[in-house]
Amino acid sequence: MFRIVKGQTKIFSKIADSGNVLLRHFCADCGSWIFNPRGGDPTHVVLKVGTLDQHEGMKVVLNIWARSRRPRTLMDSTIKTYQTDRPDVAANS
């Protein structure tokens, strides 16, 4: 379960490629992007893994928005990867 353990986030909103409103949550102190809800559902989030204190027990099951990765970012080629959003999510947006 993911939860913010200190402070509160600031929210930036923009129009996503799907046309929906995207709410990005940032650290109010340093401005680092922490997470955003997926498709308006607060129980499903896109989480920046670099913000996690504990990685034990976590497993990457898919990669989305791979076209936005930094050139030196390594990705496991055995994991399902989408260059943009997952087709099932994009179709329902």
Q: Per residue in 24-64, pLDDT tens? A: 999 999 888 888 887 667 777 787 777 777 778 777 788 88
Q: What's the pLDDT score for residue 47? A: 79
Query: Residue 3 and residue 52: Cα distance in Å, rounded?
Result: 10
Mean pLDDT of 9-16: 90
Q: How confident is the model at residue 11 (pLDDT cuts 50, 70, 90)?
A: very high
69-82, pLDDT tens digit by residue?
888 888 888 999 99
SS3 state at 91: helix
**Dihedral over Cα of 15, 21, 27, 29: its sign:** positive
